Amino acid sequence: MDDLEEWSEPINKLVAQGLLAPDAVLDALTQRVLNFYVLDEETELPRLHETFESLATEEDGVKQLTQSAFLSFLTFSGFLPPSMRDAGALIYRSLLYLSQYPFYRSIPEALTYEELIRALAWTMPERSRNIYDECHDSRSRSPADFRRQLFQGFATTRDGKSVPFDVEHTKEQAEQRAFNFTGADRRRSAGTNYDDDGDEMFHDILDVLYSVQPKDIGWKAPPRDCFRPIAKELVGDERVHHLSIPQDEFRAILKLLVTTYFGKPSFSFKLADLDHVVDCIICPVIQRSDIGITWNMYEQAAGNGMPMLMRGLQRILRPFYTNSTDENTTIDLPQSGKIATWPVMAQLGSLGAFGSIFAFVQQYKYYDVRTMPVTASALADELDALPRASIAVLLSGKNSKTGKKIIFGSYMPYFPFDESPFLFQLSDIQDAFRGNASRPGRELDGGELVFGQRWNGVALVLQQDVERAIVSHNVSGQNEPMYVATTWRGDWQLEVEVEEIELWIEQLPDSDNEGEEE
């Protein structure tokens, strides 16, 4: 760490010039959004400006997008079902918060054009991470940072103040999240964001202050840690572990995000299917019935069990800055299956299965085990004979003890060097069990089809006649398992009476070119 005294003079100059005051920092963030093309300057930015001008009202010489105009636009565009207008209001409220990020202060009543630009940018982590200057003098932003950013936007209560708090354990959790990068995420310069000076919200301000400071090319600038005294003055009294999302509000948000996961909800599905899927997604998040959802509760579920669900948020907001015919705005889905209904496809997408736009996803095979006998060996041969593709196997049935609907499955990506296989549960709770090995992640053992390793981590074992499956989930003693068990769920075993099996594939047009990336 560089000596703070060495940099005190240039930092004091920045303070004297007002460049580190909240309003100046937010203005600098807006400029970085523009400079790093978070919104495309030739297509998306002009469209956003046009939309804003058509919807904004002027008060005291300032044009603003009100909640009423925001909701009316999305309803008219077909992206917000009238029955979910309250959830739309919660989305708008989150944008008000994000427009002021990283500062947790009084949120505005409406959005100016610049505030709208910043708020939208923060909903696109794959683009907005370029706003940060990540280097050896700073720290890399992890996926958990962006999930927390959105959590904070939806948090409207402070139930976390009533939950027992262990500061040292919380620091350890924060450090694990700060170093947890997957896929193509940048691991360089990873660093903890909770220490004796402050929690994640304090470090958010540090990240931003370092990034927005004026830098002269070829000259060294004050490192991130030198802005700690300023960040302490700006952070305020709120702490991440205090915040919570009311359960009814989060359920309403989830229902909307599942509905809009593939864009404008132009397809039909049974409302009961949607409600069941929402119940399964929210189940692991609600750990106490008497309080709202805290950051730890949210992250335990979202970090592993629904990391990509926020695509629904991105797609419901895309009409503000893209043409409705844009392929990323509304997805042309394949015909739904018996198991993989459209809400279930949203579940698969939220786990990270298949590409972001489901462009080449199709059902390959369906088995009704109740009427069409099939053996585990025959199913293994079927999987081996599949074309080169990303593959999802879905098993649907009933819990042999409770009779509850159960869906388990396996996802095997086509490019194992980019992502690992994983097992998943979609009903009666949503969870994913990430893989530590390349495909296929399964074997035929004694006539049974085994996904994973028996008694090490998570294993899904289809018996010889595939009418029954045994799912074992072992946290205790797991040692570099093929599929990692979810710590907070403990040890358990479940017997499933299998009724239906579906095989889904995503076969890219050029999939014969083995070295080509997706």
Q: Which residues of 357-370 are buried (b: 16+ CB within 10 A; e: fewer)?
A: bbebbebbebbebe
Both 369 and 232 in one domain: the answer is: no
**pLDDT surpassing 80 at residue 37:** yes
Range of the domain at 76: 4-189+199-244
Residues 346 and 490 in one domain: yes
Residue partners of 475: CB distance under 8 A and separation at least 6:
485, 486, 487, 489, 490, 491
Same domain? 359 vs 231: no
**Residue type at 347 in one-letter notation:** Q
> Which token pair is 105?
């202060």
The pLDDT value given to residue 513: 45
Residues 472 and 343 both lie in one domain: yes
Instruction: Report d(CA 508, CA 388) in Å as an integer.
Output: 9
Whether pLDDT at 409 is above 70: yes
**What letter represents residue 375's amino acid?**
T
Which amino acid, 9? E
Same domain, 229 and 377: no
Res 438 pLDDT > 80: no
Q: Where are the beta strands (DSSP E) in 176-328?
A: 244-245, 293-294
Mind listing the pLDDT tens digit for each residue in 234-285?
998 999 999 999 999 999 999 999 999 998 887 667 778 999 999 999 999 9
Give residue 364's pLDDT.
Answer: 95
Provide the pLDDT for residue 283: 92
In a domain, 297, yes or no: no
User: Is residue 327 included in any domain, yes or no?
Assistant: no
Same structural domain for residues 10 and 110?
A: yes
Are 112 and 209 in a shared domain?
yes
Question: pLDDT-derived band of residue 467, with 50, 70 and 90 as boundaries?
Answer: very high
- The answer to the question of residue 456 being in a domain is yes
- 366 and 483 belong to one structural domain: yes
How many domains does the chain contain in total? Answer: 2
Q: Point out the least confidently predicted range of 115-124, 189-198, 269-278, 468-477.
A: 269-278
Q: Residue 514: its pLDDT value, please?
A: 45
Buried-state track 56-65, b at ≥16 Cβ within 10 A, e below 16: beeeeeeebb
Q: Residue 129 domain-assigned?
A: yes
| pLDDT, tens digit (0-9, with 9 covering 90-100), for 123-158 | 999 899 999 998 888 999 999 999 999 999 999 999
pLDDT (average), residues 309-325: 89
Per-residue pLDDT for 115 more than 60?
Answer: yes
- Please indicate, yes or no, whether residues 239 and 343 belong to a single structural domain of this protein: no
pTM: 0.92
Instruction: Reply yes or no on whether the pLDDT at 358 is more than 90.
Output: no
**How large is the average pLDDT for residues 364-378?**
95
Report pLDDT for 79: 93
Q: Find the length of the chain.
A: 518
Q: What is the pLDDT of residues 72-106, one digit of tens each?
A: 999 999 999 999 999 999 999 999 999 999 998 78
Confidence (pLDDT) at 511: 47
Residue 2 pLDDT exceeds 70: no
Which residue, of 244, 259, 280, is where some domain finishes?
244
Sign, CA torsion 414/419/422/428: negative
C-alpha torsion 367→373→378→379, nearest 10: 30
CA distance 264 to 259: 8
431: Cβ contacts below 8 Å, ≥ 6 apart: 284, 301, 304, 305, 424, 425, 486, 489
- Give the confidence band of 510 by pLDDT, cuts at 50, 70, 90: low
Mean of per-residue pLDDT scores for the chain: 91
49 and 176 housed in the same domain: yes
- In the prediction, which pLDDT does 271 show? 78
How confident is the model at residue 417, as a pLDDT?
60
Residue 322 lies in a domain: no
pLDDT band per the 50, 70, 90 thresholds, residue 306: confident
Provide the percentage of residues in the chain whose pLDDT is more than 90. Answer: 76
The reply to whether 261 falls in a domain is: no
> Which pLDDT value is given to residue 180?
87
Judged by average pLDDT, the poorest of 296-310, 341-355, 366-380, 473-487 is 296-310
Single out the residue of 327, 261, 317, 262 nearest to residue 47, CA to CA: 317
Element (H, E) at 63: strand 62-64
Which residues are within 8 A (CB) of 129 and not within 5 positions of it... i.e. 6 or more apart?
Answer: 141, 146, 186
Sign, CA torsion 505/510/514/518? negative
Q: What is the pLDDT of residue 218?
A: 62
Are 236 and 364 found together in one domain? no
Three-state DSSP at 292 gives: coil
Please report the pLDDT score of residue 325 as a whole number: 62
* End-to-end Cα, the chain, rounded Å: 40
Does some domain include residue 308?
no
Same domain assignment for residues 224 and 344: no
In a domain, 340, yes or no: yes
Confidence of residue 366 (pLDDT cuts 50, 70, 90): very high
